[in-house]
Amino acid sequence: MTDISMMAEPYKIKMVEAIRMTTRAEREKAIRKAGYNTFLLRSEDVWIDLLTDSGTAAMSDYQWAGMMLGDEAYAGSRNFYFLEEVVRDIMGYKHLVPTHQGRGAEHILSQSLIKKGDHVAGNMYFTTTRLHQEMAGASFHDIIIDEAHKPSVEHPFKGNVDIGKLEDLIKEFGADKIPYVAIGAPVNMAGGQPISMENMKEVSRLCRKNGIKVVLDAARVLENCWFIKQREKGYEKKSLKDICRELCSHTDACTMSAKKDAYVNIGGWLAMNDDKFFTKAKELVVVYEGLHTYGGMAGRDMEAVARGFKEATENEYIVGWRVRQVEYLGNKLIDAGIPIVHPIGGHAVFLDAKAFLPHIPQEEYPAQMLAAEIYVESGVRTMERGIVSAGRDPATGKNRTPKLELVRVTIPRRAYTNSHMDVTALAIENVWKRRDAIKGLKITYEPEALRFFQARFEPV
Ligand SMILES: *Cc1c(COP(=O)(O)O)cnc(C)c1O
């Protein structure tokens, strides 16, 4: 069935930003200077920037117009009350605590609910989320279904929780040692894979029975809702807003990186139903983020966040087209025979670096090198999601060795056209053709936490 309304961008371009192509010699020099870490490149040396979809969206005229309505009062800005109203309306949570971005919310959540020696479970980990849990004294446990760790396996809801694994954890540690379960919807590290409504309901049922909170990582919640609408029986005719409200109703709180599905460049929030948790979070937010009516955001930023989230929920073509564009790139790579994570996720195409470069052992960082090679080939910037991102086990100091060794080709929202996707696919194909000659890397500098952001490498 061809729905022609979904065959082109649901917007037109009002303003443009020039981007600059570089020479191969310039890029070779730039990547060496960046220690083979694409996070350390200057954006001026990048042609098409697919590093992340975080804070890289193009805002709408409705959002930009809202920026002029910023009420920059220190306390009680009207933009805060509008944001609170929008979040309540779409997600249904009782309380809102604004934060400067997602990890600000994760910090306050972890410090509010975790005691030393606790255990937190999640459907695969996310880098900053797990770090905040560990810094608060908890151990993290992955309870995602096994399929999620296998790149080539097709499954409509690869972000689902394995309920048996959660039950085992409750038996092993006791419910009173598990303050909450963190549910990513969809799961970034698994390849942007969604969780089904059915599975969310089961997680909620089990947790509520045991007095364990369910906390939603809502960074890309609208993309998850889009997948539910496309793939889950009974949701075909429901609006994204109704699906989102229902999904949130099975949880007790959420952390939000507004830099994703609120279509802004900065912002976030923590939302919850529990009054006591709200009181604690409000006490902490003034220490780490800002007053509880701005939490590190300017009034104008809160207005843009509120408008962006509202718009993306109400006009389903915004999220639909976004997911469709990722699919467009993914299908081009599949057609070229390039190994990627299946099914294609909502925010990015993930290259399977273990299958792309099988001659490079994981200890020589194949995904890190593949991202560097794609940059040198074309000026397209991507990033590593494998052994470097996984970091070290805090107990043993040893490298964690994740099953997934991936390069994330992340599509910013509304920023690039399908012509940019065409040349990106071509660039990756060119690297694929010369893959046998690519060598591994060794680390020359490594920060203690979140090493993928700043680590430096050299070819072996
Ligand atoms: C981006 C992200 C975060 C952290 O949010 P920031 O706004 O970058 O601090 C948390 N969880 C997931 C799944 C994310 O993608």
For residue 347, pLDDT beyond 90:
yes
Please calculate the CA angle 445-448-452 and round it to the nearest 5 degrees. Answer: 65
Is the model's pLDDT at 364 over the cut of 90?
A: yes
Nearest partner of 344 among 448, 230, 208, judged by Cα: 230
d(C-alpha 145, C-alpha 163), whole Å:
9
Q: How sure is the predictor about 362, in pLDDT bands with cuts at 50, 70 and 90?
A: very high
The structure tokens listed for 188 are 């970034």
* Catalytic residue, candidates 93, 125, 126, 263: 126
Per-residue model confidence (pLDDT) at position 340: 97
Active site residue 89: no
Domains and CATH numbers, the chain: 4-53+317-459 (3.90.1150.10), 62-314 (3.40.640.10)
Calculate mean pLDDT across residues 345-368. Answer: 97
Mean pLDDT of 364-386: 98
Each as own residue / partner, the long-range contacts of residues 71-76 (CB below 8 Å, 24 or more positions apart, any chain) are: 71/299, 72/298, 72/299, 72/300, 73/299, 74/291, 74/294, 75/291, 75/293, 76/293
Do 40 and 456 meet the contact criterion of CB atoms below 8 Å apart? yes
**Collapsed DSSP state (helix, strand, coil) of residue 447:** coil
Q: What is the pLDDT of residue 7?
A: 85
Q: How far is CA 174 from the centre of its chain?
A: 30
Residue among 24, 33, 74, 335 flagged as catalytic: 74
Q: Provide DSSP, 328-348.
A: HHHHHHHHTT--B-SS--SSE
What pLDDT shows up at residue 312? Answer: 98
Average predicted confidence (pLDDT) for the chain: 97
| pLDDT tens, residue by residue, 246-265 | 999 999 999 999 999 999 99
φ/ψ of residue 327, rounded to 5: -60, -40
Which residue is closest in CA terms to ligand 1's atom 3? 102
164 Cβ neighbours under 8 A, 6+ residues apart: none
- Which atom of ligand 1 is the closest one to the Cα of 258? 7
Q: How confident is the model at residue 394 (pLDDT cuts 50, 70, 90)?
A: confident
Residue nearest to atom 4 of ligand 1 (CA): 102
The yes-or-no verdict on residue 84 having pLDDT over 70 is yes
Q: Tell me, what amino acid is at 369?
A: M
Report yes or no: 35 and 447 within 8 Å, Cβ to Cβ.
no
Is 126 an active-site residue?
yes
pLDDT digits (tens, 9 = 90+) for 186-241: 999 999 999 999 999 999 999 999 999 999 999 999 999 999 999 999 999 999 99
Is 288 known to be catalytic?
A: no
Percentage helix, strand, coil for the chain under 3-state DSSP, each rounded to 5: 45, 15, 40
Model confidence pLDDT, tens digit, residues 103-119:
999 999 999 999 999 99
Q: 102 C-alpha vs ligand 1 centroid, how far in Å?
A: 5
Mean pLDDT, residues 418-447 taken together: 97
Cα–Cα distance, 13 to 279 (Å, whole number): 44
Q: What would the two tokens of residue 164 be?
A: 């048996």
Shortest-distance Cα residue to atom 5 of ligand 1: 102
Q: Are 225 and 247 in contact (CB under 8 A)?
A: yes
Percent of the chain topping pLDDT 90: 97
Spell out which residues line ligand 1, taking CB within 6 angstroms. 54, 101-103, 126, 128-129, 184, 188, 217, 219, 257, 259, 268
- Is residue 217 annotated as a catalytic residue, yes or no? yes
Nearest to 155, CA basis, from 344, 325, 349: 344
Residue 207 region, left (φ>0) first, then alpha (ψ -120 to 50), else beta?
alpha
pLDDT of 1 higher than 60:
no
Confidence at 54, pLDDT banded by 50, 70, 90:
very high
Model pLDDT, residue 3: 74
Q: What is the mean pLDDT of residues 306-322?
A: 97
How far apart are alpha carbons 259 and 188 in whole angstroms? Answer: 14
Q: Whose CA is nearest to atom 7 of ligand 1?
A: 102
Residue identifier of the C-alpha nearest atom 12 of ligand 1 = 219
Q: Of these residues, 52, 127, 251, 255, which one is catalytic?
A: 127
Q: Residue 369's Cα: distance from chain center in Å?
A: 22
At 385 the three-state DSSP class reads strand
pLDDT (0 to 100) of residue 372:
98
- In the predicted model, what is the mean pLDDT of residues 426-450? 97
In order, the DSSP letters of 212-273 are -EEEEE-TTHHHHHHHHHHHSTT-TTS-HHHHHHHHHHT-SEEEEETTTTT--SS-EEEEES
Kindly give the distance from the C-alpha atom of residue 202 to the centroid of ligand 1, in angstroms, as a whole number.
25
Task: Specify the pLDDT at position 271.
Answer: 98
Name the CA radius of gyration of the chain, rounded. Answer: 21
Catalytic residue of the set 103, 260, 307, 451: 260
CA of 266 to the centre of ligand 1 (A): 11
Distance 217 CA to ligand 1 centre (A): 8
pLDDT at 122 over 60: yes
CA of 404 to the centre of ligand 1 (A): 19
By the 10 Å C-beta count (0-12 exposed, 13-18 middle, 19+ buried), 335 is classed as exposed
Mutate to test the pocket of ligand 1, among 257, 301, 453 (most ligand atoms within 8 A of CB): 257
The stretch 11-33 carries a mean pLDDT of 97
The contacts of residue 1 (CB under 8 Å, 6+ apart) are none
CA atoms 177, 179, 185, 191: torsion sign: negative
- Quick check: is 401 catalytic? no
Give the pLDDT confidence score for residue 2 in this predicted structure: 66
Looking at the predicted structure, is the pLDDT value of residue 8 above 80?
yes
Pocket test for ligand 1, best of 260, 301, 413 (most atoms within 8 A of CB): 260
Record the tokens describing residue 379, joined without a space. 């000026």
Position 6 scores a pLDDT of 82
Residue from 126, 187, 223, 254 to probe ligand 1 pocket by mutation (most atoms less than 8 Å from CB): 126
